[in-house]
Amino acid sequence: MNEEQQKQKREIVETRKGGFGGSDARMFYKVGLKGLSALSDTDKRRIAVALGQAECIEIPATEAMEAGNEFERWLRSKYSEENGWESNYKLESDFIKPRNFKIFAHADFYDIENDIVIEAKYTASDLKTTISDYMPQLQWYYLLGVDKVYLVKGYQDEPFELYDEKFIERDDKFIEILRNGISLIDDFCNDFVYKEKDEWTTFDLMPHEQAAAEVMFNYLSQIKKMEEEVEKQKAIMLDLMLKNGVKSLKSDGYTLTVVPESIRSTFDKDKLLKKHPEINESDYLKTSIVKPYLKITLK
């Protein structure tokens, strides 16, 4: 990412402190459709950032996000300034003005003369699914008054040249739900005071965070099953080798060695302290700093 792109990214992050952009459209659609009870703790923290009640924490770029950024940079040769396009162009509403925040969007590419937005996505899903997943953001542009919106969709693990381009029709019913969500959240902000919550559920995560947690769980579940199977097979091999008096079994990839029965000695601290109550245990404690880590408990 060059200096100019880094500057644009910082400007986009900075706008999160005063309002909501296209990436927040999903939250407004959800609330417009289901009411304020649909707000997750992540949503509330996002609102707190917009209102200046919480610090904006930038999300570390994932491999998929970096690939999407690379795809967008590749598209700049087609949607260039020479061809009449502006990249990361900020659009704001002149006719929808909530009391407590601003609403805007940063178009990936914008044709000022013809009032056309190009939204670039680089996803693993097919075109239809991608349109459905990002429809709140796509209709958000129409909410802001744009005349035409196109989705340019690249495919993960495929050459950038194999992209699809699709015109997104304006959906007034969808936009009305977004408007309702804006109104509800604007009223909500009048008396909203944010308090940090130290226990979440997966419903409080952003979609890409939910996906990361699900991938982690799936891998750990597979590892647990494999470890259980390994223990079963180890027991079978140990029994076989003991019955046949075999001390080791070698192959090109592994060596199995029978560790004979032995006596293990351990220090009985409780017995020592009971026999010598004059010993102050704290005088012999060694302390060290343990870095934070993630404890995972599978159910």
Give the helix/strand (H/E) hosting 202.
none
What's the confidence (pLDDT) of residue 1?
Answer: 47
Buried residues in 224-263 as b, exposed as e (16+ CB within 10 A): eeeeeeeeeeeeeeeeebeeeeeeeeeeeeeeeeeeeeee
Please state, in angstroms and as integers, the Cα–Cα distance from residue 261 to each residue in 95, 232, 237, 258, 264, following that order.
Answer: 82, 20, 16, 9, 10
pLDDT above 80 (res 45): yes
Instruction: Work out the burial of residue 71: count CB atoms within 10 Å of its CB; fewer than 13 is exposed, 13-18 middle, 19 or more buried.
Output: buried
pLDDT digits (tens, 9 = 90+) for 112-158: 999 999 999 999 999 999 999 999 999 999 999 999 999 999 999 89
Under DSSP, is residue 206 helix (H, G, I), strand (E, B) or coil?
coil
Q: What mean pLDDT comes out for the span 272-279?
A: 90
